[in-house]
Chain A
Amino acid sequence: MMGTSDTYLIRPNHQEKFKPAVVKECIREVVRERLTGVRYDDEEVRQLSTTLADSIKDRVKKAGFDRYKLTVQVVIGEQRGQGVKMSTRCFWDADTDSYAEDVFITENLFCVVVVFGSYYY
């Protein structure tokens, strides 16, 4: 760290790069496992969303995206025929950073999970 010419790793190598498809699969598995057959209950869901986020984060961490800061957002809402629109916009380095999202919808609830991976340079 004291060298005059510092060298930085500003790109993840290929294996470690954030792969939305992989992450999406992780999300899907976790969400499917945890939410199938669950009825919406606003008391429960509060806790459920945080635990879901944590488990997804852990799961994604295992996927080995080194030097990635992971941000997991879980939104669970009740399905009552209302219209819902969710969208995202990011200010980041598109070369390294990415996100994966998955939507899980049942009769009475919907769950949107977004995982953002931003790279530590």
Chain B
Amino acid sequence: MHTEKKRSKEDTWKAADLKRYIAEGSHEDGRRGDRGESLEKHYKESRRERDKHREYYTGGRVDADEMYRHVERRKEGSQDRRDDRERNRIEERLMEKERRRERDTVDMNSGEHIKKTDRRRRDREETQERERDRQRQREKDKVRDKYTDEERVRRRQEREKEVRREEGDREYKHYRDRRSHESIDKGGSEYTDKYNRERRERHRERERQGEEYGISRSEKERRERHAERKQSEHKEGKDYQDDRRKDKHDRERRHKEQRHHDEKQKHHSESREHRDRKRTEEEVRHHRSDREAEGDKHTERRHKEEKDPKEHFKERTQEMDKELQQTNSSHTQKAEETKIVNEKETEQEYEDDFEEYEDDFEELDESDNEDGEKEELVEHKEELSLEKREEIKAIQRAMDEENKKVGALSRQNTTEIKEERPKWSRESETTESQTPQRGKFMDFVAAKQREVNKKVASKQKKRSAELLRLIDLDFTLTSSLLDLPPVNEYEMYIRSFGTANTKQAYVQCNEDNADRDIQTEEIELTEKWTQHPPEHSGACGGENLFLYDFDFGIYILSLFSDPNISPKTRDGPLNELNIDSKRLTTFLQSASQVLIVLLEEDEAERNSLRKLRTQTDDLSFSDGGLQLNTNLPFLQGHHISLIHFSEVQKHTMISVHTSTTKPSAVLLGNHTLICIWNIWEPSRPQKILLYESEVQCCCFSPGKATLVFAGTTVGSVVLWDLREHTSNHYQMTIGDDEWTFRHPSFSTDAVMSASGHFSTVMSVEVVPSAVARGQRSEVSLLAPKEEATGLSFQLASLDESGILNFWVVVELPKTNVAGSPTDLGLRPGGKVKLLHSSTLSVVDRMLHRAKKSAHLQMLRLKFLPTDSNHFFIGTNMGTVHHGTSHGLKALPKFYRDLEGNEKPVDINSISFSPFRQDLFLVGCGDGCIRLHSVSQEKPLIEWRDGCAGQSVVSVQWSQTRPAVFSVLDSASNIYLWDLLKNETKPVITEGMGKDRVTAMALFGDSEQRNTYSGVALAHESGKIQIQYFTSNLTVSSLSEVEKLTSLIEAI
């Protein structure tokens, strides 16, 4: 058919192209096959047959119908083939001549004569053979390539397969598929119908020409094929699957077409009478009589079939499988074969469903055939001769051999074989006779299989290469599937040795329930306290120690008034034990002092009366006197250098006992002792102050005498705070009495070396407070209490080199027992300290006036009581320097004697009048006494021989009488001056005899209630005698100050 046309092309085709072409060709074949009248006829026939069967087996037993259908057909076929056989034999003989291979076929064919059962198939094969031979002839003529020819053959085979498949399909569909696609098919049906008709015509022509074997026929075929190809070529570009789908569709369509066609043909032209008849038969289903006509048709069909597939089957036989041949040769084996086919089919993993689908039909087809053949078997039992069986065996043997060969070659290529196998199996029925030819073409099969193999492998390779690009493989994390930990020892133990339902448990038997017992007895606690050093009664205490109350004083007083006071009142306070001990201590101290003073005064008054009597004999001015008890062990041998009275507490006196030069057995011989006396309490000094070096001067604090300042020969200024508790000070028991020696609370010794004094401090004076200024008269009364409260005042200290220092007295808010880390001059526990305020150099001012005096010494310092700005300094040049601490210089600058000369005379004493504060007395070393007014440089009065040539030690105004003053000279004479009585010489001159008086101090109180005045005399022996002045010296007359003023003015 179309092979001739193709051949020219195929010469140069490559394997891949070929493959593709094969694929396409199969479609073409399929399509052509569809159109091919042979197929159609075949189908129709089968239909018809079936119909006939239905006629036979009434009752619509379709299955049975099928069963007998083939039998019928075969019967028919046998008739046909008998006709054909003659022709076949001629053909065979021709073939024998042509080819050696054909001999086999001839053998087969010769055997075939006997075989009635396989007649039909053999006929077909023979015709194929014949056709093939014709082609061979043509091949030889045209010197065609054998291989390409084979390829073509293979293609043809495939086409044939397609056709077969379609047949099966149609059959299958006929009783299975009732889906209607008529709407789609109708359009094409007309055409296909016509076409089919045409083809049928052509075939009939060919039939007629068949015996001629002329070239003209092949030419015609070629033309025909060419036309077909043209038809199919337009589909070539399309997808294979698409084609396949189309094929399938086509098949379905055709299937329907044919039904449709059948109906159509009823109304068709006369030329198709037989067919019409057939259709009507189909419809009526009772036309048995039509068999003859049908038989004609059948022969026609057969003929056509023979022609059509003769090319397809030409070489088919060579490639036959064992299974297929088995099927052909024996009916029993056929069943096996189908099984094998089915098995193989399952293995065809990559074959798409289409093929599988086809296979399904195949099976059915085969089973149909089988059934048919079975029927045949039954019918022609007699005909199955021994010869036939032998032949079958021979064929089997040959096939076995072949299989061995093929199997060796194509073991790997099973897939390819499988592809083809179904087709072969389909063809097996018809191609049985051609099996002997197979040996010759074995190599091609193997080559083809290899090629296909290669192709598939490369395809897979390409696929994998393409896919691997798209896929990235990765490692998963190692994931734990099972983690069964080993059983621990205890569980193992329990499992292996323990009994079931037991468990080990641990119980502690009351071990932690221990008893605790305390065997010691309860400690009794009492609260007590103590103080160290335990110098007084309050040194220690406890809850039950205090028996006193606040009204202790009342109690004491009541003791005095009524000694028989009931203990009941004492018990009352006893119960109230909650007492502030410190407050009580202070109360007791002050109270005891008061009591002691009271007692001593009481005693002293009694004694003084006695003493006065005795002493009035001695001293003309004395109105009686008393002696302070300086007969104390530590005061023995001490020389009294200074006696000083407090200006406010007029009964308080200081006595400075300088250190003794001679070695003394007595303690504190090298110390300076300062005793604070209350002149009403002469039995013992109130306080004893202790200092290591010599004290040159001292003074009380203004107001209440709580502080004592002293200037020392070593240039330091020290102070004692008399308020300090005795327990804080050194206490010594001498004899039966206990004495407290107080060290200075503050000393400028090492602390203020830069701003302190570098020579002996000659004078220490309290700078009078400015508050008192201008109110002098009241100051004496009011000032004490005011100044006592606020301890803020200035202190001035003058050393002999003329340095005048001002100090500010500061009281610290609280004491530090551990001592001050910053101020080393402060005694631990001390509260009062001196802060350096300013320094004045008095010498510089004087030197530019008195340059010749090389050794100017400052001896005495006094402040103007009314103005603290003005100070007066007595020098060793007989002059008193007048200066101011700040502000303008005051005039006159110097106070000289009447001559106005400067001569080296010490100014030993300066005393301001307590009544006329602008007047002061100056006692000179040459015995001269001068009365100066502040405003005048020259003295108002100068008494040159006031002391009979002896140097004046001390000169002091009386505290009670403005016009009276007392002078002590170095010869221990005391002169009492009363300016109102005698302004040229003293009224009383008294020599103290053998016991030299070293110091003198006047005291007195001008209070109206109890006016007294006197003089305290310190003797060289250490005694301190206090002499009260007589009343004429004590009590001042009215307007005595005025008289003095007038007197002075008169002078």
Contacts of A114 in B (CB 8 A): 481
Contacts of B404 in A (CB 8 A): none
Contacts of B20 in A (CB 8 A): 2
* B1046 touches A (CB below 8 Å): no
Among B466, B480, B495, the residue within 8 A (CB) of A8 is B466
Given known pairs A81-B491, A81-B495, the reply for A8 and B470 (CB within 8 Å) is: yes
Given contacts A92-B474, A94-B476, 13 further A-B contacts (CB under 8 A): A3-B239, A6-B463, A8-B470, A10-B467, A81-B487, A83-B484, A85-B484, A86-B481, A87-B479, A87-B481, A88-B481, A101-B481, A110-B482
Do the beta carbons of A2 and B475 come within 8 Å of each other?
no
- Write the chain A residue with the least CB distance to B23: A2
Among A87, A101, A110, A121, the residue within 8 A (CB) of B478 is A87
A103 to chain B, nearest CB (A): 5
* B13 touches A (CB below 8 Å): no
Bound CA–CA A20/B470 (angstroms): 24
- Write the chain B residue with the least CB distance to A112: B482
Do the beta carbons of A2 and B476 come within 8 Å of each other?
no
Among A3, A75, A87, the residue within 8 A (CB) of B480 is A87
The 9 closest A-B pairs by CB, nearest first: A81-B487, A83-B486, A84-B484, A86-B482, A86-B481, A89-B478, A90-B476, A87-B480, A112-B482
* B90 touches A (CB below 8 Å): no
* A93 touches B (CB below 8 Å): yes
Do the beta carbons of A6 and B478 come within 8 Å of each other?
no
- What per-residue 1/0 map shows which CB atoms of A68-95 lie under 8 Å from chain B? 0000000100010111111111111110
Do the beta carbons of A93 and B471 come within 8 Å of each other?
yes
- Write the chain B residue with the least CB distance to A79: B484
Among B23, B470, B474, the residue within 8 A (CB) of A91 is B474
Bound CA–CA A75/B481 (angstroms): 11
B943 to chain A, nearest CB (A): 133
Given known pairs A85-B480, A87-B479, A87-B481, the reply for A93 and B486 (CB within 8 Å) is: no
Give B residues with C-beta under 8 Å from A: 20, 23, 239-241, 459, 462-463, 466-467, 470-487, 491-492, 495
Do the beta carbons of A84 and B473 come within 8 Å of each other?
no
Interface centre among B462, B484, B487 (most CB of A within 10 A): B484
Among A79, A86, A91, A103, the residue within 8 A (CB) of B475 is A91
Bound CA–CA A1/B480 (angstroms): 42
Contacts of A94 in B (CB 8 A): 474, 476
Bound CA–CA A86/B478 (angstroms): 10
- Write the chain A residue with the least CB distance to B483: A85
Do the beta carbons of B484 and A110 come within 8 Å of each other?
yes
- Write the chain B residue with the least CB distance to A2: B240
Contacts of B486 in A (CB 8 A): 81-83
- Write the chain A residue with the least CB distance to B478: A89
Bound CA–CA A114/B480 (angstroms): 11
Do the beta carbons of A89 and B476 come within 8 Å of each other?
yes
29 contacts between A and B (CB under 8 A): A1-B240, A1-B241, A2-B20, A3-B239, A6-B462, A8-B466, A8-B467, A10-B471, A75-B482, A79-B484, A82-B487, A84-B482, A86-B482, A87-B478, A88-B479, A89-B475, A89-B477, A91-B473, A91-B474, A92-B474, A93-B471, A93-B472, A93-B474, A94-B474, A94-B476, A101-B481, A103-B482, A112-B482, A121-B467
Contacts of B491 in A (CB 8 A): 81
Contacts of B475 in A (CB 8 A): 89-91
Given known pairs A81-B492, A82-B486, the reply for A88 and B470 (CB within 8 Å) is: no
A5 to chain B, nearest CB (A): 10
Contacts of A82 in B (CB 8 A): 484, 486-487
Give the A-B contact count at a CB cut-off of 8 A. 81
Contacts of B476 in A (CB 8 A): 88-92, 94
Bound CA–CA A33/B213 (angstroms): 76
Bound CA–CA A1/B466 (angstroms): 14
Do the beta carbons of B480 and A86 come within 8 Å of each other?
yes
Contacts of B466 in A (CB 8 A): 6, 8
A102 to chain B, nearest CB (A): 9
Bound CA–CA A55/B470 (angstroms): 34
Bound CA–CA A42/B444 (angstroms): 55
Give A residues with C-beta under 8 Å from B: 1-3, 6, 8, 10, 75, 79, 81-94, 101, 103, 105, 110, 112, 114, 121
Contacts of A10 in B (CB 8 A): 467, 470-471
Bound CA–CA A88/B785 (angstroms): 109
Bound CA–CA A91/B472 (angstroms): 10
Bound CA–CA A121/B482 (angstroms): 31
Bound CA–CA A3/B237 (angstroms): 10
Do the beta carbons of A85 and B482 come within 8 Å of each other?
yes
A89 to chain B, nearest CB (A): 5
Bound CA–CA A79/B594 (angstroms): 110
- Write the chain B residue with the least CB distance to A82: B486
A41 to chain B, nearest CB (A): 20
Do the beta carbons of A83 and B471 come within 8 Å of each other?
no
Contacts of A90 in B (CB 8 A): 475-476
Given known pairs A2-B23, A10-B470, A94-B476, the reply for A103 and B481 (CB within 8 Å) is: yes
A49 to chain B, nearest CB (A): 15
Bound CA–CA A90/B473 (angstroms): 10
B625 to chain A, nearest CB (A): 123
- Write the chain B residue with the least CB distance to A105: B484
Contacts of B485 in A (CB 8 A): 83
Contacts of B463 in A (CB 8 A): 6, 8
Given known pairs A2-B240, A89-B476, A94-B474, the reply for A112 and B467 (CB within 8 Å) is: no
Bound CA–CA A86/B483 (angstroms): 6
B239 to chain A, nearest CB (A): 6
- Write the chain B residue with the least CB distance to A75: B482
Given known pairs A8-B466, A81-B492, A83-B484, the reply for A88 and B478 (CB within 8 Å) is: yes
Do the beta carbons of A121 and B471 come within 8 Å of each other?
yes
Interface centre among B463, B466, B478, B479 (most CB of A within 10 A): B479
Contacts of B474 in A (CB 8 A): 91-94
B59 to chain A, nearest CB (A): 42
- Write the chain A residue with the least CB distance to B477: A89
Among A2, A3, A79, A112, the residue within 8 A (CB) of B481 is A112
- Write the chain A residue with the least CB distance to B350: A1
Contacts of A89 in B (CB 8 A): 475-479
Bound CA–CA A3/B241 (angstroms): 10
- Write the chain B residue with the least CB distance to A90: B476
Contacts of A105 in B (CB 8 A): 484
Bound CA–CA A79/B492 (angstroms): 12
- Write the chain A residue with the least CB distance to B462: A6
Contacts of B459 in A (CB 8 A): 1
A107 to chain B, nearest CB (A): 10
A36 to chain B, nearest CB (A): 19
Contacts of A87 in B (CB 8 A): 478-481
Interface centre among B466, B481, B483 (most CB of A within 10 A): B481
Bound CA–CA A93/B487 (angstroms): 38
- Write the chain A residue with the least CB distance to B241: A1
- Write the chain A residue with the least CB distance to B480: A87
Contacts of A84 in B (CB 8 A): 482-484
Bound CA–CA A81/B483 (angstroms): 12
- Write the chain A residue with the least CB distance to B496: A81
- Write the chain A residue with the least CB distance to B468: A121
A99 to chain B, nearest CB (A): 8
Interface centre among B463, B482, B487, B492 (most CB of A within 10 A): B482
Bound CA–CA A94/B478 (angstroms): 13
- Write the chain A residue with the least CB distance to B20: A2
Interface centre among A75, A85, A112 (most CB of B within 10 A): A85
Bound CA–CA A110/B467 (angstroms): 40
Bound CA–CA A92/B474 (angstroms): 5
Contacts of B495 in A (CB 8 A): 81
Interface centre among B471, B480, B483, B491 (most CB of A within 10 A): B471
Bound CA–CA A105/B476 (angstroms): 26
B416 to chain A, nearest CB (A): 14
